[in-house]
Amino acid sequence: MPHMDAAYNLARWLTGNSHDADDVVQEAFLRAFKFFETFRGEDARTWILKIVRNTFYTQWRRARSRDESAEFDEEQHSLGGDDQIPGAAANPESIVSSSQDIALLDRALGELPEEFREALVLREIEDLSYKEIAATLDIPMGTVMSRIARARRLLVEGFTRLAGARTPGISAAADASINLQATLEPSTGDKDPCLPSNP
């Protein structure tokens, strides 16, 4: 099915686990099929991601109304089991370091408030333009840009905090933060086509 991977990625980051993400994606695609006549020929990816997001919030509101006191489950919000991302490094030391950084990045991203996390996931993981994100989230493009900028800053701060707690000494955490910040900051050559250009 088209856009299934993008739908699953968004649902995975919104729900925090694979099982609930599967449920959200399944329900979203059923809704998309049921209401296909409402599709007006705009970007299909944006349309399906909007349905995934709305499905998640509908299910979240239902679950929240049933149980107002949900506790944070550390195991549920960290990589593990079938979600584990295999390392691509050559030696064991770099594999361990890379997998620890991935786990820290996953935790830092999971700790972001949902409004920032969903905007950052759509931009950095799904590679949507600011215009597509604005349409998906039903917010102005300026709000999208500010949420993404703030999400990047919060992600770097969270990663630095988590890396500092893991590693004795501030230098390892600082190096990790600098590398992460360089990765997340858009280069001037990769400017989003939806942003106005300077004269």
Q: Hey, what domains does the chain have and what are their CATH numbers? A: 4-65 (1.10.1740), 91-186 (1.10.10.10)
Q: Side-chain half-sphere of 179: how many Cα atoms within 13 Å?
A: 12
The pLDDT assigned to 198 comes to 42
The pLDDT assigned to 95 comes to 57
Tokens encoding 41: 């020929």
The pLDDT assigned to 163 comes to 84
Cβ atoms of 176 and 101 closer than 8 Å: yes
Angle, alpha carbons 116-15-119 (nearest 5°)? 20
Question: Could you report the average pLDDT of every consecutive run of 10 residues in the chain (199 residues)?
Answer: 81 86 89 80 82 84 61 49 43 63 85 91 88 91 94 91 68 50 49 41
From 11, 14, 32, select the one nearest 23 (Cα to Cα): 11
Distance CA 86, CA 126 (A): 20
Cβ atoms of 21 and 11 closer than 8 Å: yes
* Overall pTM surpassing 0.75 (yes/no): no
The pLDDT assigned to 190 comes to 45
